[in-house]
Amino acid sequence: MKQLLFIALIAFAAWYGYHHYKELQQQGPAQVVAVNHTGHRMERLRISVGDNTVVVESLENGATAKQPFKCEHDGPFNLTWQLGDVLGERSWNGGIYAHGPLVLAHTFDFREGDGVIYSSQKLAK
């Protein structure tokens, strides 16, 4: 009886996979979200993983920017930006982009000074 139940379960999984293969394979791109709490306008924000880069040219204080991000390999995030009325370029490295079955929203909350708070959460389908 247990063997028959096991075989039925395998047969159902195979049937489901065959009939829903395209649905299971379709996943949208991940998303990067930049939130500016620096007290300054941000300019030339670059969010990179390896060779893939997302660019936000200008982000006002208190504003949020969302952009799709697709990358075929895993790696850490590298961020560079400038503040509108402060000299010099700022940078931050950290977090991790994992190319895989989960589609995540990666949020970067920029704070005063050089602070960046990174978080990620699963995107709803």
CATH number, domain containing residue 58:
2.60.40.2890
Is residue 73 included in any domain, yes or no? Answer: yes
**Taking the CB of residue 105, how many other CB atoms lie within 10 A of it?**
16
Does the pLDDT at position 76 exceed 70?
yes
Is residue 66 included in any domain, yes or no? Answer: yes
Domain count, the chain: 1
Does the pLDDT at position 121 exceed 70?
yes
Is residue 48 included in any domain, yes or no? Answer: yes
Is residue 20 included in any domain, yes or no? Answer: no
- What range defines the domain where residue 47 resides? 28-122
With cut-offs at 50, 70 and 90, classify the pLDDT of residue 24: low
Q: In the chain, pLDDT over 90 holds for what percent of residues?
A: 54
* Residues contacting 102, CB < 8 A, separation 6+: 122
With cut-offs at 50, 70 and 90, classify the pLDDT of residue 23: low
Is residue 10 included in any domain, yes or no? Answer: no
Q: Out of 3-7, 27-31, 79-83, give the one with best mean pLDDT.
A: 79-83
Query: What integer pLDDT is reported at residue 38 of this predicted model?
Result: 93
